[in-house]
Amino acid sequence: MDWLEVDSEDCSIRRALEAVGEKWTLLILRDAANGVRRFDDFHRHVGLSQAVLADRLRKLVASGILRTTPYREPGSRTRHEYRMTRKGWDLWPVLVALMQWGDAYAAGPDGPPLRLRHRDCGAPVRAAVVCCAEETPVEPSRVHVEFGRAAPAGPAAPARPAVREPASPGA
């Protein structure tokens, strides 16, 4: 089966983007991963309108990425904090990968504004695609795609590289 034969509507990346593929949503998740919990703090720090923030938070809760926890300040009504769920924390490597990409290709003239370091040893941390058996980083040219059960039925085809290597000189 060729990649172009795969139904692009039935795609995990497409479905993930439906849940988190909007700029404000990713910035809300960035802040939630860094300890922001309350609506007013998200509003102040992310800098979007209250209506858009309320809509994005509602969608993140409905999709199980954030959960609400009630709290009440003395003399005020009950409100909700927003906390990452396991499903939300599973997006943390995606946020780190986006940060790495931004640091490499979109940083300001003074370089990256933040650095992530391992709390125990102080070494930098990064997101990577890792072989589950060897626990070592894998380059795109060393990965192949296997079509799952949801792929359209057709004759079996050998797995193809996810990223095609450049043609050799003279080929």
Residue-wise pLDDT for 63-103, tens only, equals 999 999 999 999 999 999 999 999 999 999 999 999 999 99
- The domain in which residue 79 lies consists of 3-90+128-161
CB atoms within 10 A of CB 66: 24
Identify the band that residue 154 occupies on the pLDDT scale cut at 50, 70 and 90: very low
Q: How far is CA 2 from CA 14, 72, 144, 147, 149, in A?
A: 19, 56, 12, 10, 15
151 inside domain: yes
Number of domains into which the chain is organized:
1
118 inside domain: no
Predicted confidence at residue 156, as pLDDT, reads 44
Q: Which amino acid is at 156?
A: A
55 inside domain: yes
The helix/strand count (H/E) of the chain reads as: 6, 4
Query: What is the separation, in whole angstroms, between the first and last Cα of the chain?
Result: 24
pTM, full prediction = 0.81
121 inside domain: no
Predicted confidence at residue 169, as pLDDT, reads 43
DSSP class of residue 166?
A: P
15 inside domain: yes
CATH of residue 149: 1.10.10.10
Tell me if 113 sits within 8 A of 99, measured CB to CB: no
98 inside domain: no
Torsion angles phi and psi, residue 124, rounded to 5: -60, 150
Tell me if 158 sits within 8 A of 166, measured CB to CB: no
12 inside domain: yes
Q: Which amino acid is at 63?
A: S
75 inside domain: yes
Q: What is the mean pLDDT of the chain?
A: 88
